[in-house]
Structure 1
């Protein structure tokens, strides 16, 4: 066997070894599995007026969307923080500000106002 014929398998082995020693690629975590794929029969948005009604309705929509897999847990947590800020404003008697916070959150996340 000539030295050139020995050289090819050695290069091939080194290339394969280099490929196998590469750092693992980070894989994104799968979102939380949906518990259902449709809104439950008889689902109704909560009643109420003013900021408290707007907040209860938005929470119900988000809980339903999370259960159906329409939002990830991370987006859901972000929106829950935004709803909590609106609920704080509502509890402090700042109705207009609370409703504005709900509308801004809906707009930011693609929900109709």
Structure 2
């Protein structure tokens, strides 16, 4: 089989494969919010220790959900996962709580 025929066949396969993909519709932001844009009223919670770290990540998650950058199901799962971190923090296990926050961030693509 000539090389040009192989290349043409490969390109045809790629073109057909692209036709079968569907685009996901992103969630709509709440009324009055610009899609994907953090409002100027957003403020990061202040404080120190594991409680502040948890509150800050929850605020980022909420903002991402409100602006349509994260779906409601992801937001719900991530905040539920943070429950273990909140329990560890409340019990005085700061290191464990911070580790749980870090693993939750990684699981959902945050740094």
TM-score (norm 2): 0.69
Distance 1:31 1:94 in 2: 38
Instruction: Give the aligned partner of residue 84 of structure 1.
Output: 83
Distance 2:52 2:46 in 1: 6
- Identify unmatched segments of 5+ residues in structure 2: 1-24
The alpha carbon displacement at 1:31 in A equals 6.4
Instruction: Give the aligned partner of residue 29 of structure 2.
Output: 34
**8 Å contact 1:31–1:73 — kept in the other structure?**
no
Instruction: Give the aligned partner of residue 107 of structure 1.
Output: 106
Distance 1:41 1:73 in 2: 22
Q: Root-mean-square deviation (CA), in Å?
A: 1.5
1:1-113 matched pairs, under 5 angstroms: 32-35=27-30, 36=33, 37=35, 38-112=37-111
The alpha carbon displacement at 1:32 in A equals 4.7
- Identify unmatched segments of 5+ residues in structure 1: 1-29
Divergent runs of 4+, >3 A = none
Radius of gyration: which is bigger? Answer: 1
TM-score (norm 1): 0.68
The alpha carbon displacement at 1:83 in A equals 1.1
**8 Å contact 1:51–1:90 — kept in the other structure?**
yes
